[in-house]
Amino acid sequence: MIIKQEFWYWPAGQNRMLHIWLPDDYQYTNERYPVMYFFDGHNLFRDSDATFGKSWGMKDFLDQWHKKIIIVGMECSHEGNERLNEYSPYRKRMFGHVLEGKGKQTMEWIANDVKPYIDRTFRTWGHREATAVGGSSMGGLMSMYAIIAWNHIFSKAACVSTGVFWNLSNFRRDLSRSEINPDTRIYISWGEIEAGKAAHNGNPEYDTREARSIRRFEKELQERGASTYLFFQRGGRHCEEDWEKQVPVFMNYLWF
C-alpha cells in the first residue's frame, strides 16, 4: 500500500510530497514496524513518478521480501537547482553554482517534523535501532551526513553513490564531532563508470579517487565503532536502473 501525502517543508515554505509504503496487511494487524526514510522519494516505487521514468523498483522488492517495514520517501524540489541546495549540508560549488546548503535544515525537518508525524500516525517502532535512512547521489550524501551527525536518531544508512571523494573533509570533520553508537551499520556504494578511470590502468575497485576515499573513510568509521559494507558495482552508472540492483543488497545488510 502506497500513500501519497503532502507535508509542509518549512525551509522552503512549500509542501513536499511524502511517498509512504505500508505493508499490505497493515490495516488487518496490530503490529508495529521499523521505518526507513529515503531521499528522492518519488524515485522509489513507481516509474510514473520517477524523474527520468525509471524507479528503484522498491515496491516489487518489498512485495516479495521476507521482512515487513514502513518506507517513507521524501520528495525534493523540482525547481532548478534547488534539490542540490536542499540535499547539501555543506556550502560548496557544484555545476557552476554555489550551494549555500539547506541540508542541515532538511535534517532538522526530518528529525523534528516528519519522523514525529510518522510515529504519531502509524504503528512504528520509533527508537533509533528501528530507524534508518537512505538515498543515492545527493541523497546518499545526506544519508552519510545523517548517520554521522544524527546518529542518536538513525542506526542504519544506505549511502548509495554518495561521492565520498568530493565530501571527505566535511565527513571527517562531522565524524570527529559526533558520538557513533557501536550498533551503527553503514552501506556505502559506488559504480565503476560513475567513478571514472582508475589511475595507471589499475583496478577501478581500488584505484579511482572515489574508491580510495571510500576505503579510507570506511576505516575511520570502523575505528569509531560502526559496522560497514562496501559495494563496488561493476559497470555501475549513476542512474536508477543500476541503483535498483543494489536494493536487495543494502536492505538485507541493514535489516539483517
Phi, psi of 224 (to 5 degrees): -90, 0
Q: What would the pLDDT profile of 57-114 be if each residue is shown by its tens digit? A: 999 999 999 999 999 999 999 998 889 999 999 987 776 777 778 999 999 999 999 9
Question: Which homologous superfamily is 2-254 in?
Answer: Alpha/Beta hydrolase fold, catalytic domain (3.40.50.1820)
Kindly give the residue spans of alpha helices, DSSP state H, lying in the chain: 58-64, 82-86, 103-109, 115-121, 138-149, 164-177, 209-223, 240-244, 247-254
- Copy the grid coordinates of residue 106: 532538511
- pLDDT tens digit sequence for 16-53: 999 999 999 999 999 999 999 999 999 999 999 999 99
CA–CA distance, 170 with 178 (Å, rounded to integer): 12
DSSP 41: G
- Enumerate the domain spans of the chain: 2-254
The 3-state DSSP class for residue 164 equals: helix
